[in-house]
Amino acid sequence: MKAYLILEDGTVFTGTSIGAEREVISEIVFNTSMTGYLEVLTDPSYAGQAVVMTYPLIGNYGICREDMESKRAWPDAYIVRELSRIPSNFRSEDTIQNFLKEYDIPGISGIDTRALTKLLREKGTMNGMITTKEYTDHSEVLNRIKAYSVEGVVLKTTTKEKYVLPGNGKKVALMDFGAKRNIARSLNERGCEVTVYPADTPAEEVLAAAPDGIMLSNGPGDPKENTAIIKEVKKLYDSNVPIFAICLGHQLMALANGMDTYKLKYGHRGGNHPVKDLETGRVYISSQNHGYAVDAKTISPEIAEPAFINVNDGTNEGLKYTGKNIFTVQYHPEACPGPLDSGYLFDRFLKMMEVND
């Protein structure tokens, strides 16, 4: 069946319908990862967005549910150059086509994703519609496309109830703003007892459990939208509990301390982004998925100092808070998919908790 991708600037791509056969309007973003499409599909940070995969062949190793980063798939839609018809992998349990239908995700294949990605890089992230309906008049459709915005996605993706991953080591409170499973798993593998809290949990409840450390997770959407959560994050900052924050958590901590965030032209999404440790000068290849960044011009040295920068564009990728056992990064040390270069940051967090005893 024919399908169309209509962008808010009026550009139309024609391809083949994949997944669910329904119309959807979403924010169109691209990911440059060569593998890990299942982890991308199940990353809650993509809630409210339609993902373009720049790698031309997707689905060739099928679906292995053990690799899912959450209980379900989150993107509004999925856009690929070519979808593999027959997966080849001894771990494969299903095809990506069936997976998209299972989670009611519409998509389009057979379009020039290279041209689409270049367009998004030149003009910036745009909204778009994926539809099987052939519109003769695009004016009304374009108004609807332009009106779309990503809203309320943190509370949509967070856990609805607190739960615990048992461990014999340090007690870590993980604030779930749309967390990938591998964050809790990375802590659990290091012996930590991880208690996962819903995003809107009051700081008083978290601190009353006397955690050894607090983890602020990744998540979707505009960080500034989360005004109530930001107030609770400030209370966590004011405590003396060591804190490690990733991605959205990094942005929320910055906003809680008077810094500003802004939307990047087309974001950083993929498994090949170089970040530089400003203390050592060492460069790490990182997994990233974010459309917003902390404005470096608003970082006050009395509050925090830059710890990492993006080698490609110089944007802030991490902060070390002055006089506090708090550090935050914009990228994903838990990877999945992506390089494992930055896994040592979890070990740094453990040492912070030990020193704080």
* Cα(113)–Cα(255) distance, integer angstroms: 35
288 labelled ligand-binding = no
Check 39, 69, 247, 273 and give the catalytic one.
247
289 labelled ligand-binding = yes
SS3 256: helix
Residue pair 120/28 in contact (Cβ under 8 Å)? The answer is: yes
Check 193, 232, 332, 336 and give the catalytic one.
332
Q: Kind of pairing, strands 2-7 and 82-83?
A: unpaired
219 labelled ligand-binding = yes
Nearest Cα neighbor of 233 from 326, 131, 140, 301 is 326
334 is catalytic: yes
SS3 107: strand
Distances (CA, A) of 114 to 79, 111, 270: 11, 9, 15
284 labelled ligand-binding = no
Residue pair 121/54 in contact (Cβ under 8 Å)? The answer is: no
45 labelled ligand-binding = yes
DSSP string, 24-83: EEEEEEEE--SS-HHHHHT-GGGTTEEEEE-SSEE-TT-B-GGG-SSSS---SEEE-SEE
* Cα(247)–Cα(290) distance, integer angstroms: 7
Q: Is cis: bond before 106, omega within 30 of 0?
A: no
* Cα(234)–Cα(202) distance, integer angstroms: 11
247 is catalytic: yes
Q: CA angle 187-232-49, nearest 5°?
A: 70
Strand order, beta sheet including 316-321 = 163-165, 193-198, 171-176, 213-216, 243-246, 326-329, 316-321, 304-310, 261-277, 283-294
Check 8, 317, 334, 336 and give the catalytic one.
334
251 labelled ligand-binding = yes
Token pair recorded at residue 317: 């990728």
Nearest Cα neighbor of 17 from 147, 116, 110, 84 is 110
Q: Kind of pairing, strands 57-58 and 82-83?
A: parallel
The alpha carbon of residue 49 and the mean position of all alpha carbons in its chain are separated, in whole angstroms, by: 11
> Per the annotation, where are the binding residues?
45, 219, 221, 248, 251, 289, 291-292
The residues that are catalytic are 247, 332, 334
Binding positions for L-glutamine are: 45, 219, 221, 248, 251, 289, 291-292
